Amino acid sequence: MDKKPQYNRPAFEEAFNAWKTLLTRRGLPTEMVWIFDENLCFEPAPAQPGGFRLGYQTAFTPPPPEAAPIAYDYFSEFEARLVFYRLGSSQGKSVCLLLCDAWFENKTEADGFVRQDDWLISFRPGTNEEVEQIKDPQRWKNRILRDRPLHDLDFCMTLRAVHETLAHGRVLSTYERSALKFLHLWRRVFRHAG
């Protein structure tokens, strides 16, 4: 029988302070820009056939200020490794995401991950590489949405889930999302009819 790992995940503030301490020790910026799936911008890399380059944006889908603690609290409900992931630097700040999946369980220092097993958390501080902030709407519109390569970042939270948590106190099920769409459509039909 598989044994579940024993861990005690701390509150967001304690984990966040450990993250900032690690960034400070590595000489990386501790002021952060938190991003989510809708903020990622995978683009074809002209110099590498089949390759991609990665940027981010916050102009078209800005995360709310409380998004990182919401994602942390949501991911803390799962018995899977949670990861504080630093994509790189931008304008003197660290561009960060929260990720969660069993995919990260075997990631070690050799892969760039600092493990805190008693919390079931890993930290991936990355390098001081500059990450481009995309501000051009056309580049954002033409980003790769399908058939992008499998990447650690595929395990991040969506802004949609953050907004659902803010509006409803939890992430909605697929059925609930469909019912809400139907309800909004129904209201528009009656508004135009009346």
Q: What mean pLDDT do residues 168-172 have?
A: 76
pLDDT of res. 45:
80
pLDDT of res. 31:
97
The residue type found at 47 is A
Domain ranges of the chain: 12-157, 159-194
The predicted-structure confidence for 46-85, as pLDDT tens digits, reads as follows 787 777 889 999 999 999 999 999 999 999 999 999 999 9
Tokens 């911008």 belong to: 41
Whole-number mean pLDDT of the chain?
A: 89
* Token representation of residue 40: 């990622």
Question: Which range scores top for mean pLDDT: 113-117, 126-130, 137-141, 155-159?
Answer: 113-117
Q: What mean pLDDT do residues 93-109 have?
A: 96
The DSSP bridge pattern shows strands 32-34 and 40-44 to be: unpaired
- Which pTM was predicted? 0.85
DSSP structure class, residue 124: E
